[in-house]
Amino acid sequence: MPIQYAGQYDVKELLVYTSSGAVLNLRNAIQSINIYESMFSTSLSGSITILDVDDIATLGPIIGQEYMKLRLTTPDLDEDEIDFTNTTFAIYKVVSRISGSQNAQLLTLSFTTPELLKNNRTRLSRSYTDTIDNIVESVLTDETSINTIKNIYIEETSGIRKIIAPNINPYNFITNLATEALSKKYGSPHFFFFENTKGIHFKSIESMLSGDGIGLFTVSDLGPLAENGTVDIRKDFERVREFQINTNNDMLMNITGGMLGSRDIEYNIYNKSYKTREYKYFDDFDKYPRLNGSAVYNDNQIDVKGNTVGDFSNARIHLHSVSSQDELDTQHTNEKSEYKYAPNKINESILQRQAKFMELNSGISISMKIAGNTTIAAGQKMRLVVPTTGRVHEGNEFDPYYTGDYLITKLRHNFSQTDKTHEIYLQASQESFETDLPNRADAKEPLGSKGVVTNVTY
């Protein structure tokens, strides 16, 4: 059936497999479903509330040891449905049982992905010799490890490494690998390891930004009706229903966190030498692709020495060790006792990676609610148009700074059977402006005369 309104959805399947062997078809008992995704989380999570009129909580019984098959779709978008029928969710907790009457109760269950349970039950104690992307694939697909059959999206990394997993959970091991991975295509260290409704991802921000994105969204009211007097469904899908700016630049946090400047000292334990590397916000701004093209801070001078806010690399200092010679790892050899492996590349990754995470977490962040559809997921790019607040200035109907491309970092799918709508509550970040900031004068502190020093004696 063609779509009738923005946010319409269909529940194609909901089966719960109990630990006692019963299979419960709860498709018609759903009250609400929430699915959570985040670029900063290794697994999906969610909750489901069902109306229990047959005491299935006891007859199942449902005890937090079940598997759930779920398939949700947006009409006309069946090829991009949320489909967990080939794979499943794991119900791990009975949150509440609320009696509505003698003959019914509301049952709320928490679920996550089975891979997370496997991860917490498993530890790796072995060595790997390969590129980081191949190591990640091995950990995710190995029968003795995560053993997932989900779609996996892995970006190629550079350098063959010899790495030991020291009795560690698989996901913690992969998260550690993400801190050292360098993209073979972009050379960037901005890798994320996360899961969304499309699959499991190990890739850089640059690869996420390379696509076309999910489209244009505008902060607006309902808007004009179509010619036949009904709401224009396409425009309603593109409308931001609720909008809030969460954070702006936090100068203090961005100084101490290393976003504006930092320094790395690498000590080579093999040849007893050291080298330093600096990160400076303005100098390194264009090193890798960005969402938009302009810095979120002004590069005007702030002191008599001509420094900008991005010239203080000593604000945060890192120290780490490496054992290498001629760009080869001297801690490990091959079967011929030759140095053939790449050393850790922390000195090439830590400063840039630290700054990028600060930009996404402590930079410009917005929250909004839109009509849901099953094509949208965390890690996707979107374009947002924000109208000017109050009177239009200089002919600009749209905010020149908050209008631009954003990266969806977190979202929640909310499927409500009460009003038959799918809504998405999402958080998106922007690490650069689309328009240059005005630079009309120095930004030096407007000081008066010096104070008087008084020596106090007793």
C-alpha span between 214 and 237 (Å, rounded): 11
> In DSSP terms, which residues pair with 37 in a beta bridge?
411
Strands (E), 74-137: 82-101, 104-112, 124-131
Q: What share of the chain has pLDDT > 70, as a percent?
A: 97
Q: What is the pLDDT of residue 329?
A: 81
Instruction: Specify the CATH class of 10-117 in words.
Output: mainly beta
CA atoms within 13 A on the CB side of 373: 20
Q: How buried is residue 407: exposed, middle or buried, by Cβ count under 10 Å (0-12/13-18/19+)? A: buried
> In DSSP terms, which residues pair with 319 in a beta bridge?
265
Q: What is the pLDDT of residue 393?
A: 61
CATH number of 118-206: 3.55.50.20
Q: Which helix (H) or strand (E) holds 384?
A: strand 381-385
**pLDDT digit string, tens, across residues 307-356:** 999 999 999 999 988 888 888 888 887 887 777 787 777 888 899 999 99
C-alpha span between 38 and 56 (Å, rounded): 32
Q: Which residues 6+ apart lie within 8 Å of 229 measured at CB?
A: none
**pLDDT digit string, tens, across residues 249-273:** 888 999 999 999 999 998 988 889 8
Domain ranges of the chain: 10-117, 118-206, 251-360
C-alpha span between 154 and 201 (Å, rounded): 6
28: its two tokens: 């018609």
pTM: 0.91
**pLDDT digit string, tens, across residues 89-133:** 999 999 999 987 778 999 999 999 999 999 999 999 999 999 999
Q: Say yes or no to pLDDT of 394 above 80.
A: no
C-alpha span between 110 and 277 (Å, rounded): 46
Q: What is the pLDDT of residue 23?
A: 94
Peptide bond between residue 61 and the one before it cis (omega within 30 degrees of 0): yes
What are the φ and ψ backbone dihedral angles of 353, each rounded to 5 degrees? -65, -45
DSSP letter for 29, please.
G
Q: Say yes or no to pLDDT of 290 above 90.
A: yes
344: its two tokens: 């850790």
> In DSSP terms, which residues pair with 433 in a beta bridge?
294
